Chain A
Amino acid sequence: DGGITQSPKYLFRKEGQNVTLSCEQNLNHDAMYWYRQDPGQGLRLIYYSQIVNDFQKGDIAEGYSVSREKKESFPLTVTSAQKNPTAFYLCASSIGRGPYQETQYFGPGTRLLVL
């Protein structure tokens, strides 16, 4: 079954702690994305990557970091610098750059809660 997996489904963070959210895809997509969704707000882009070993900041990158060492993996670290991390985090992927190739497919998401 091809798709995007995210783990864990729920994650609890203590004050001052860094946590890492996993995102894996077996769709052979070049591009991967991380979004954050808060109640009553649209999805906001945190980071995205068009190709292995390259990534760009999105609209709300502060307090987050990513890596793209493998095509199929794009982990997101929520650092202690992110003061309001409680949200629903969604990972997505798309075939890559080009018209009509940018349709994004989402993983099931991770809910991050601060203790």
Chain B
Amino acid sequence: RKEVEQDPGPFNVPEGATVAFNCTYSNSASQSFFWYRQDCRKEPKLLMSVYSSGNEDGRFTAQLNRASQYISLLIRDSKLSDSATYLCVVNLFPNTDKLIFGTGTRLQVFP
């Protein structure tokens, strides 16, 4: 089983739609969780950290479910500019400083 698993997509949605991505992780000792965004042929950029109580940043909402070992990202009112690959990232700190990256879920928003 992969350490971090994501549905590769692509998710094709119209502008204004709500879309949700899930990500599962295998190590129950995982401590920190993130969503990164990567545009085509560019570097990943931090979108948001994921906190135990869930957190929201504008149109983006992240949730963590430790019991089921998954995190989710909800995007409301999708914009064309949201088209990108979304990477789920997990850290096992304090056991390691390494981040484990999922392979990403591709989102394509169309007019």
Q: Is the interface of A mostly helix, strand, loop or mixed?
A: loop
Q: How far is the CA of A65 from the CA of B8 in the complex (A)?
A: 32
The tally of residues in B whose CB lies under 8 Å from a CB in A reads 24
Q: How far is the CA of A55 from the CA of B39 in the complex (A)?
A: 29
Q: How far is the CA of A109 from the CA of B41 in the complex (A)?
A: 9
- Taking a contact as CB atoms under 8 Å apart, the answer to whether B97 and A108 are in contact is no
Q: How far is the CA of A102 from the CA of B104 in the complex (A)?
A: 20
The residue in chain B whose Cβ has the minimal distance to the Cβ of A96 is B97
Among the 9-residue stretches B43-51, B53-61, B65-73, the one with 4 or more Cβ atoms under 8 Å from chain A is B43-51
- Taking a contact as CB atoms under 8 Å apart, the answer to whether A102 and B99 are in contact is yes
The digit string for A85-115, where 1 denotes a CB below 8 A from any CB of B, is 0001010000001111011111111000000
* CB-contacts of B74-96 with A (<8 A): 87, 91, 93-94
Nearest CB on A from B53, distance (A): 14
Q: Which residues of A line the B interface, CB within 8 A?
A: 31, 35, 40-43, 45, 48, 50, 58, 88, 90, 97-100, 102-109
